[in-house]
Amino acid sequence: MSATSSYHHGDLPATLVRSAIEMLDEDGDVELSLRGVARRAGVSSAAPYRHFPDRTALLSAVAAVGYQQLMISLATEHPEPSSADDLADLAVAYVDFALTRPGLFRVMFTEGCDRTIPDRVAAVEAIHAYLGAAVTRLMKTDAPEAVATAMWSLVHGLAFLHLDGKLDASPREAVAARVRETVLAMLAARVR
């Protein structure tokens, strides 16, 4: 919905979240405000406050949708990862999500969001369960949750290293190759 269109009916909270995500996807460095999102949605600057008492509440709802979209992206890549190569593919998909949607990714992981909102909790739990199931299927370990957290941390670190310019993020094929090689190397490594 463009800034020149007018909002007349429907689900205003979802429209505001969608407008915020559109803004983030267009400009990953945009500083979201309730006023700016209201303008984008074509509603009065007071309208968002009926659903989001402050910027943190809006960002929390945006982050929840981001986690849901990330989960869809991962599950689309591999519904049930069954090999080390599948895990490497998921790592590439995760980093690609971060690089393709940097504004949304940063809201999900760097903004002060309310970690207790039900949609966010459910989406994060779905990602944890998905990774935990993959680890349980693929790895011999007495600590599958810890291994899943370690894998997420590795890939998440790679995403931010690329986003923050610590690792070169171009071309995309080189990023994918680096991420894949890193994950496969960690999976193959053994303690002496």
pLDDT of amino acid 4: 44
Question: The CATH number of the domain where 120 resides is what?
Answer: 1.10.357.10
pLDDT at 171 (0 to 100): 92
Q: Contact at 8 Å (CB) between 158 and 185? A: no
Residue 41 lies in a domain: no
Q: What is the pLDDT of residue 8?
A: 53
Long-range Cβ contacts of 75-82 (<8 Å, 24+ apart) = 75/130, 80/133, 80/134, 80/137, 81/134, 81/137, 81/138, 82/137, 82/138
**Number of domain units in the chain:** 1
Instruction: Determine the Cα–Cα distance for residues 31 and 28; give it in Å rounded to an integer.
Output: 9
Does residue 15 belong to any structural domain of this protein? no
- Domain containing 70 equals 55-188
Determine the pLDDT at residue 40: 96
Has residue 75 been placed in a domain? yes
Q: What average pLDDT values come out for the chain (192 residues) when binned by 10 residues? A: 51 95 94 95 93 93 96 92 93 96 95 85 91 89 90 95 93 96 92 80
User: Which three-class secondary structure string do you get for the chain?
Assistant: CCCCCCCCCCCHHHHHHHHHHHHHHHCCCCCCCHHHHHHHHCCCCCHHHHCCCCHHHHHHHHHHHHHHHHHHHHHHHCCCCCCHHHHHHHHHHHHHHHHHCHHHHHHHHHCCCCCCCHHHHHHHHHHHHHHHHHHHHHCCCCCHHHHHHHHHHHHHHHHHHHHCCCCCCCCHHHHHHHHHHHHHHHHHCCCC
Q: Under a CB-based contact definition with an 8 Å cutoff, are residues 146 and 152 in contact? A: no
Give a yes or no: residue 39 inside a domain: no
Vertex 171, ends 157 and 148: CA angle to 5°? 25
- Establish if 171 belongs to a structural domain: yes
State residue 18 phi and psi, 5-degree precision: -60, -40
- Please give the structure tokens belonging to residue 185: 């190397």
